[in-house]
Chains A and B, each alone.
Chain A
Amino acid sequence: MEPILETNGLRVEYRVQNGQGPKVAVRDLNLAVYPGEVFGFLGPNGAGKTTTMNVLLGFVIATGGSARLFGVDVREPIARQRIGYLPELTYYYKFLTVEELLRFYARVFGLSRDEADRRIDGLLKLVELEHARKRPIKTYSKGMQQRVGLAQALINNPDLLILDEPTSGLDPLGRMKVREIIQRLKREGKTVFFSSHELGEVETVCDRVAIINEGELKVVGRVSELVESHQANLEQIFLSMIGYKPEPVV
């Protein structure tokens, strides 16, 4: 099976200000995500998760290696035609209403007016924002804004969803709803690639996970296989992969 998302020897370096050599954010990363799977991308802060996502979305140009979506180089805009992206925080035009925002993104994807209307109605129903469709986004609560994000990520009915910490900052009910939506997308055969700190959530939702630390891929595999091979739960595996050693209790 051809992977939907693929990186080969991906390397990203940043120039640093203080005159030292370049900082390596991602080091020879090889990843492959296959159609229909939910893939968890884990790592501590500064591990290179966001940088990798930025390369996949075309925000940052890789120093070396390659990254492909649907077999197309990520630098080609067409590679992003079939993906949906949910950023960690809500970055939307807050002077627009949710309906206007979704209509704007629908136009970006070249959807017809009828198709856009149909999708907007469906999505607003899915994220339970029908009642607030005519209100400017700036008047929404944080949870509502996060749901706007989910709706915009789904406007083009994407085959691959890239979610950057989709549940961060949400209350338990909000998290539950996001989880439900991810499960639903999985049932519909969509591929989901998401980063998270919530290991419990990853464990329940993901088919496979990858753990990255200091730009290097430490481990990748099915959650059940990892748990079995390491004889530990996901949290313990994660902590051992990032080199965390608990201090002895005095």
Chain B
Amino acid sequence: MAGVSTQTFASVKSRTIYFWILSLLLVLSFTLATVLQPRAGTWTSRSGAENVLKVVLGDGRRLFANHFFVQADVSFHSGYYPSIFDHTALPKDSSPMIADSEQHDEHAGHACQGEHDHNSAKCSDDHAGCAHDHGEKGHEHDPHEKAMSFLGTPRDWVEAFGRRFMITEHTHLSAGNEREMLPWLKLSAELDPQRVDSYTVAAYWLRTLGKVDEAERFLRDGWRNNPNSYEILFELGRLYHEARKDIERTRNIWELALAKWGEQQANSDEPDLRALSQIAIHLGRMEESEGRLVRAVELLQLAQKASPNPEVLAKDIEELKHKATLPVKAP
């Protein structure tokens, strides 16, 4: 009997000890949490990120964002797209991206003269935005088409047979189907909100598809994440100009874009002249149609300085000067 009560006592005593140890550990952990929590915020920005993807992936998300952006381009070309090996096999200056940019630079002078407008922000460094009016099949002598004929003739039977199971035709999404690129661009922007292209390209296509409200909302998201981006401002201006016909707001936004460009690029070693040319041409053309010819001449002269083909604009400037019948000083 005595033995049983001694055992019971010992068991109760050991349980009490465990209870106290557990309680102590619990209190200690809570105390440490309250002390460390405010400090932890300063150790890394990851824990404080508002985006779950940022918390999970850290800076690695930029890699995924880039992948999704390229995926949008792949989607635009219906799966026909060069791999990194195909890129290396091509001559350096015939990379589809570069070829595309060159092509659109040549068109810079004709910008805004009609529907055939290649000179959008989207054309800066991606296919998805560039090739929008190439039609179902690319032009025969188009540099983009040339660059995208990366497959060449098969080198051996393995390659020849393999081509029967892959897409070997260079095509672009047909009208209306461009929506298929949008999820990739959205994902790209979600993963890397600082990637400006994702916003501008998506907004361009949304606008083309008649989804102006969605385009505006998306661009404003992009602007919130990139308050100094002149590219986003330029695209937003185009939206107000072409879809909303809101001249006043367009003017304000494009002027702001010019100012932002000046802040960031004017003193740069390699300024982004393409963007400057685009903003100036579009704003200049708008001012021309609004009858503010002096300002239009100023802007086209600015664009002329930034354009790789200034001679194309020279004629337009002369005509404008003549129309204004005013002696205009170069800015």
A contacts B directly in the complex (CB < 8 Å)?
Answer: no
Chain A residues in contact with chain B, CB under 8 A? none
Chain B residues in contact with chain A, CB under 8 A? none
